[in-house]
Structure 1
Amino acid sequence: MIDTGPQSPPAGALAGIVVADFSRVLAAPYATMLFGDLGADVIKIERPGTGDDTRHWGPPFTADHEATYFLSVNRNKRSFTADMSDKADHHDLVELIRRADVLIENFRPGTMARHGLSYDQAARINPRLVYCSITGFGSDQAAAALPGYDLLVQAVGGLMSVTGPGPGEPVKAGVALVDVLTGLHAAIGVLAALRARETTGRGQLVEVNLLGTLLSSMVNQSVGYTAAGAVPGILGNRHPSIAPYQLFPGSDRPVVIAVGNDRQFTQLCAALGIPETAHDPRFATNTARVAHIDELDRTITAKTVGQTADHWYQVLSAHGIPCGPVNDIAEAFAMANALGLDARITVGPDEDSVDLAANPITLSDTPVSYVRRPPRLGQHADEVRDWLNSPSAVEPPQHHHSNNNEPMGAHQ
């Protein structure tokens, strides 16, 4: 586990970038957290009194009654409470836009415009602003009324049609995968726009939607349809194009075996004690194995069911065959720790720290840093407002690192 402690981190790759974060729930907050990890100054705008919806999504909650859902995507941010309908608050938000490099929002289409904060309106305030809008289904009128919930998009976007134990039994992914993928695409789009601004001097509108992100992210399944007209169905834990690439039963729990080529299959057969299977015409090539997957499944299962998943993990890994047991989250973190990945971090001062999942990006010169624990609602309202009311040449507040890990006075 990494202890981020009170030390001042080195300047991040995005140091000096100010992000006006008008987002809530998951897709956009995940993107803005990535910017914060990379050194940007992220100012999270929240509704007075209630804040981000995920502050109330639980269980699980921490011992201090904080929703772990909110904690998962809101570190390295400052919470600034503002009502977009309030005249004084609106003035502060306009000033924030004037000073920001990036604005990210994921309201329903038209919401920001009703408050005078659409892209066109914001671009007149700050022509250098990169404005990112995340929606469920795009900004056309036909899509504006559709709620952009991850589960809904998994269903209508086709992901559930290829996910489940068998035909007619669709299931969702175990996490809001579409939201996370959309947040990643949004972050890439904003970075591209910032790079373009170095040449043009102008910001631009970046638009990302959940449905388009899912269709792109389904890669081989999507292009199997667009290029060959193939409409895939549910294959359970099997792969439509590779075999064996699936779960097999161990004596105690399942184990994944992921064979990607004929050489690995030959090694697998040797390790299982059935070397002749590699030369069976039904299994000699990947295409043949896919065509005879039921027979292959029975042949391999007859061997794997006699030993534990950990046994096969050790034996098959020694033969260079990709495999592994089905871990729970605790076991997954333990494995990452054993491999030296430092996947768990502690953020904040000792008396107010929280353990979170680490950012997986490693940069040799400008590493990610964990400057602030996820904020309490309105925790930084006073200092942000003081900055907004100061001369515009004054640096944004997070540029002062000496007390970055000290809790700030809450302003509810």
Structure 2
Amino acid sequence: VKHKLGIDYETLSKENPRLVYASISGFGEDGPYRDRAGFDQVAQGMGGLMWVTGLPGQGPVRAGIPVADLSAGLFAAIGILIALQERSVSGEGQWVQSSLLSAMVTMMDFQAARWLVEGEIPEQAGNDHPTSMPTSVYPTKDGFVNIAAAGDIIYARMCNALGIPELADHADYATADLRSRNRVALSEAIAGQSKRFTSAELIELLNDASVPSGPIYKMNEVFDDPQVKHLGLAASVPTSGAGELKLVGPAMRLSRTPSQMKRTMGPAGEHNEEILRELGYGEPEIAALRSDKVI
């Protein structure tokens, strides 16, 4: 589309060599799939995410959020910042390219490295961490909690906190590799103890022992959490109609120049007249465009 409209990088950079221009595509600006339409779920499948998500043997499962869409945008933003910094040295702009596919493959991180480095094809592991156990979901009296007790020291802390110190020295779980290979029996032993507590009791017990753990929330519970409230992750944003809308707040915090969501997106065409005036249109011309339903 950009080439048809004459707003591609090659054309615009001739007018402004300092231009930093960003594009997000489905599969990249060149290569055999360059003309294919991109969609998040397609990229999730092609990037390998759907094959490692879900319970063992369940078949491919999509993630609950558009991971490829979101990460492609983030990588594009990072690329723009790098290009701007480089321009401050070279004085020249450049074309920043991101794609759903490249972002998804990059987000596979250590799962991709398992294949590239070790030749190992990652499989579905459900709620278990693929390699570091015990990191999984465990039952409580009133629900479930996440426990992340990877590493010998944290694993021993967890065993002591749960009242099963003998598990820390058990021959079947003496090393990280053994804990991963014997994960089913280990998780059953931990679950036998975790069910003695409510979720709140267990989380407090484990965090007091410096063992990472936390609740598993529904969306309404997320925004009722005191830390989420403290971080301001539900922001009241003014709307164009003089009301307010609750939206997800910024994930980052800046100490000197804190971010602020000033207002929501307005209705389509909200700034038509303002933009047309900047382009030199007079009131009669704008009125004529409106009368002809051009705007």
Give me the TM-score of the superposition, normalised by structure 1.
0.65
1:366 aligns with 2:236: no
Q: Is the 8 A contact 1:258 1:323 kept in 2?
A: yes
| Counterpart residue number, 1:248 | 138
Residue in 1 that maps onto 2:25: 135
Report the Cα distance in structure 1 between the residues aligned to 2:280 and 2:172, rounded to whole angstroms.
74
Structure 2: stretches of 5+ with no match in the other structure: 282-293
Q: Matched residue of 1:127: which SS? A: coil
- The residue aligned with 1:354 is 245
Cα 1:336–1:229 change in 2 (3 A) is farther
Q: In the alignment, which residue of structure 1 is the partner of 2:8?
A: 118
Deviation of residue 146 (structure 1)? 1.8
2:147 partner SS: strand
Cross-structure match for 1:213:
103
Tell me whether 1:201 sits opposite 2:91 in the alignment: yes
Answer whether contact 1:241 1:290 (CA < 8 A) is retained.
Answer: yes
Whether the aligned pair in 2 keeps the contact of 1:347 and 1:370 (CA below 8 Å) is yes
Whether the aligned pair in 2 keeps the contact of 1:336 and 1:343 (CA below 8 Å) is no
Q: Distance in 2 between matches of 1:234 and 1:378?
A: 47
Corresponding residue of 1:277: 167
Task: Go from structure 1 to structure 2 and tell me whether the alpha carbon gap of 1:378 and 1:131 turns closer, same or farther (over 3 Å shift).
Answer: same
Distance 1:123 1:263, change over 3 A: same
Alpha-carbon separation, structure 2, partners of 1:339 and 1:323:
19
What displacement does 1:123 show? 1.2
The answer to whether the aligner puts 1:228 opposite 2:113 as a matched pair is no
Show CA shifts across 1:250-272 (max 9, x none).
22221111113211111111111
> For structure 1, which runs of at least 5 residues remain unmatched after alignment?
1-110, 391-410
Q: Which has the higher contact order (CA 8 A, sep 6+)?
A: 1
Amino acid at match of 1:170: P
Q: Which deviates further from its counterpart, 335-344 or 364-373?
A: 335-344
Larger radius of gyration: 2
Residue 141 of structure 1 and its aligned partner are, at CA, apart by 5.0
In the other structure, the counterpart of 1:60 is: none
The structure 2 residue matched to 1:259, chosen from 149, 152, 155, is 149
Is the partner of 1:246 in helix, strand or coil? strand
Question: Shift of residue 168 of structure 1?
Answer: 3.7
- Offset, 1:198: 1.7
CA–CA distance in structure 1, aligned partners of residues 223 and 14 of structure 2: 47
Contact 2:222 2:228 in 1 (8 A): no
Selected match of 2:270 from 370, 379, 382: 379
Equivalent residue runs for 1:48-63 within 5 Å: none
Shift of 1:242: 0.5
CA RMSD of aligned residues (A): 1.9
Counterpart in the other structure of 1:335: 225
| CA deviation after TM superposition for structure 1 residue 338, in Å | 5.9
Shift, 1:362, TM fit = 1.2
SS at match of 2:250: coil
Cα distance in 2 for residues equivalent to 1:268 and 1:259: 7
What's the secondary structure of 1:164's corresponding residue?
A: coil
Q: What's the secondary structure of 1:191's corresponding residue?
A: helix
In the alignment, the residues of structure 2 paired with residue 381 and residue 192 of structure 1 have an alpha-carbon distance, to the nearest angstrom, of 33
Cα offsets for 1:45-84 (capped at 9, x unmatched): xxxxxxxxxxxxxxxxxxxxxxxxxxxxxxxxxxxxxxxx
Amino acid at match of 1:269: C
Q: Distance in 2 between matches of 1:204 and 1:367?
A: 29
2:285 corresponds in structure 1 to none
Identity among equivalent pairs (%): 33
Q: Which amino acid aligns with 2:191?
A: T
SS of 1:356's equivalent? Answer: strand
CA distance in 2, matches of 1:258, 1:113: 50
Deviation string 1:253-311 (CA, Å, 9 cap, x unpaired) is 21111113211111111111111111111112212211211110111111112332222
- Deviation per residue, 1:347-377 (Å, 9 max, x gap): 1168322111111111122221222312211
* Counterpart position of 2:288: none
8 Å contact kept, 2:47–2:108: no
Deviates more, 1:266-275 or 1:344-353: 344-353
**1:148 to 1:358, Cα distance in 2 relative to 1, 3 A:** same
What amino acid is aligned across from residue 75 of structure 2 in structure 1? H
In the alignment, does 2:72 pair up with 1:182?
yes
Aligned twin of 2:46: 156
Q: How many residues align?
A: 282
Q: Alignment partner for residue 158 of structure 2, among 253, 268, 293?
A: 268
User: 1:314 maps to what in 2?
Assistant: 204
Structure 2 equivalent of residue 295 of structure 1:
185
Tell me if the contact between 1:163 and 1:234 (Cα under 8 Å) persists in the aligned partners. Answer: yes
What amino acid does structure 1 have at the position aligned with 2:139? P
Change in Cα spacing, 1:220 to 1:311, as seen in structure 2 (3 Å) is same
Do the aligned residues in 2 keep the contact of 1:336 with 1:342 (CA within 8 Å)? no
User: Secondary structure of the equivalent of 1:236?
Assistant: coil
Deviation digits for residues 362-402 of structure 1 (CA, Å, limit 9, x no counterpart): 11222212223122111112212323449xxxxxxxxxxxx
